[in-house]
Amino acid sequence: MKLTKRTIDAAVCPPGKRDILFFDEDLPGFALRVTSGGAKVFLFQYRAGGRIKRKRIGEYGTLTPAAARIRAERLRGQVLDGGDPVGAAAAAAASAIAAAKAESYTVRALLDDWQAAKQVQKKGRSFTTAKGSLAKHLKPWLDRPAKSLTADEVLRLLDDLAAGGQPGAAVYVRARGHAAFAWAVSRRRLAENPFTGVSSPVKAGVRERVLTDAELGEAWRAAGTLGWPYGPYLRFLMLTLQRREEVAGLRWAELAEAGECWTLPGARSKNGKAHVVHLVPEARAILGDVPRFKGCEHVFTSRGEGSVNGFATAARRLRAAVLADRKARGGEALAAHRGRLPALDWVWHDFRRTGVTAIAAMGFAPHVADRLLNHVEGTISGVAAIYQRHEFLPERERALLAWSRFIQAAAAGRDPLAAGAENVVALPRGRASVNIG
């Protein structure tokens, strides 16, 4: 029938039916749906992709028959041109939902999702640490939509880090930031990666910095002047040669009852494997003087809440204390450095490298240093690593004892290599100080 006001007013749904369609006799596809409840709605029916589709136009009463006819004619024109009004509407709705999701998907959410997804693939703390570092440097943008972060903002951040004396942080943020945002792009969470095409302001490379004996000695002396918590923390860090975050997170429950060793749980180690660290007398003495805060599980803590942090602040204070030490020692300090005072360009990991270098110089085998640093893939690799499960505990204990003597001699201005080498056989061979099995 011809859809006019008169025919539409007279149209009713037959008894026993839920609804009925009345098609217009002049305009193909233009129809009126009448329900058993009396509702009347204009629609346009067409075929696309081998399927019959219906596009809702509007309710009768809100739209006049003439206005509905105009809209139906417009829809028919789209179909004749190869269009799909229903599909286009669905695509527009999906796009709107995606846009809303992107608007609410913050940098913080991206980092959380990236860390959670990657942590499933790789055990250990590497992605937890990476997320924490990125969250620190991207703090001003954490609650912004991730899609709003621009390449220009990333570039300014990296340049500011390099100019502020943190070139290593610039390299790290560039690499890890690119990885996190690339993951989000691969998972269709973002359309673009703001780190793509942004180069690091400094060249990434393998650090080879090893402190001289004089530098090591002045760092040890300077750390002793810092007070709680950085002074004891830094000295314990030097003595144990473990990673800064692992030492900072040391808990009382991880220490042996007699205090002879510390067992780093796999949940906190970089490679996800538990690790035994022998504690030399100097390290045990530090722990003996550490204040204990009620209700705090951490050994090194600033206010009795959580673990010590602020590694950049600790580095600044230690460098300032080293300069004060040099000034107080005057010509003696100059002589120790052979007439030239070196720049304080070391980073925390350089102390770890210095310790391993000294341990090797004192005659310890490379595989002992590997186990000491909790490097499970080192000098023993491949098939040999599968069968080699020995932890070299006695050798590791002797190595740390020798390293401790090395530090004390360097701080006193004596020959550290000779002092440390005396302890290579300080413990009976074959005796393990701890039982891990």
pTM of the predicted structure, to 2 decimals: 0.61
In this structure, are 47 and 181 located in the same domain? no
In this predicted model, which residue has the larger pLDDT, 375 or 425? Answer: 375
Model confidence band, residue 417 (pLDDT cutoffs 50, 70, 90): confident
Contact indicator for 385, 378 with CB cutoff of 8 Å: no
Token duo for residue 27? 């305009």
In this structure, are 263 and 408 located in the same domain? yes
Residue 193 lies in a domain: no
Pick from 164-173, 179-188, 347-356: least confident: 164-173
Residue 429 lies in a domain: no
Q: Determine the structural domain holding residue 338 and report its residue range.
A: 213-421
Instruction: Name the CA radius of gyration of the chain, rounded.
Output: 35
| Alpha-carbon span 197 to 200, nearest angstrom | 10
Strands (E) in 230-340, as ranges, are 261-264, 275-278
DSSP secondary structure letter of residue 228 = T
Residue 426 lies in a domain: no
In this structure, are 168 and 63 located in the same domain? no
In this predicted model, which residue has the larger pLDDT, 124 or 258? Answer: 258
In this structure, are 10 and 112 located in the same domain? no
User: Quick one: pLDDT at residue 122?
Assistant: 55
In this structure, are 231 and 137 located in the same domain? no
Residue 169 lies in a domain: yes
Model confidence band, residue 420 (pLDDT cutoffs 50, 70, 90): low
The most confident of 16-25, 109-118, 391-400, by mean pLDDT: 16-25
Residue 279 lies in a domain: yes
Residue 123 lies in a domain: yes
Mean pLDDT of the chain: 87
In this structure, are 149 and 71 located in the same domain? no
Task: Give 171-221 pLDDT, tens digit per residue.
Answer: 889 999 999 999 999 998 888 999 998 988 877 556 688 999 999 999 999
In this structure, are 347 and 376 located in the same domain? yes
User: Quick one: pLDDT at residue 423?
Assistant: 53
Q: Is pLDDT at 83 greater than 70 in this prediction?
A: yes
Determine the average pLDDT of the residues in 106-123. Answer: 83
**CATH, residue 11:** 3.30.160.390
User: Quick one: pLDDT at residue 431?
Assistant: 38
In this structure, are 332 and 402 located in the same domain? yes
Determine the average pLDDT of the residues in 300-309. Answer: 87
In this structure, are 281 and 170 located in the same domain? no
Measured from the Cβ of residue 289, the count of other Cβ atoms closer than 10 Å reads 8
User: Quick one: pLDDT at residue 63?
Assistant: 95
Q: Is pLDDT at 385 greater than 50 in this prediction?
A: no
Token duo for residue 57? 């136009």
Tally the domains of the chain. 3
In this structure, are 94 and 127 located in the same domain? no
At which of 76, 103, 130 does a domain end? Answer: 103
19-23, strands of its sheet edge to edge: 19-23, 30-35, 40-48, 51-59
> 181 Cβ partners below 8 Å, 6+ apart?
110, 146, 149, 190, 193, 194, 195
Could you give the C-alpha distances from 68 to 21, 56, 72, 79, in angstroms and in order? Answer: 15, 10, 6, 17
User: Quick one: pLDDT at residue 99?
Assistant: 65
In this structure, are 155 and 259 located in the same domain? no
Residue 194 lies in a domain: no
Determine the average pLDDT of the residues in 313-331. Answer: 94
- The full length of the chain comes to 437
User: Quick one: pLDDT at residue 129?
Assistant: 77
Exposure of 278 by Cβ count < 10 A (0-12 exposed, 13-18 middle, 19+ buried)? Answer: buried
At which of 60, 77, 103 does a domain end? Answer: 103
In 347-371, which positions are buried (b, 16+ CB within 10 angstroms) versus exposed (e)?
bbebbbbbbbebbeebebeebbbbb
User: Quick one: pLDDT at residue 205?
Assistant: 57
In this structure, are 263 and 409 located in the same domain? yes
**CATH, residue 326:** 1.10.443.10
User: Quick one: pLDDT at residue 206?
Assistant: 60
Contact indicator for 195, 134 with CB cutoff of 8 Å: no
Residue 250 lies in a domain: yes
In 375-395, which positions are buried (b, 16+ CB within 10 angstroms) versus exposed (e)?
eeeeebeeeeeeeeeebbbbb
User: Quick one: pLDDT at residue 201?
Assistant: 80
Token duo for residue 86? 């229903």
Model confidence band, residue 377 (pLDDT cutoffs 50, 70, 90): low
User: Quick one: pLDDT at residue 98?
Assistant: 66
| Alpha-carbon span 408 to 280, nearest angstrom | 12
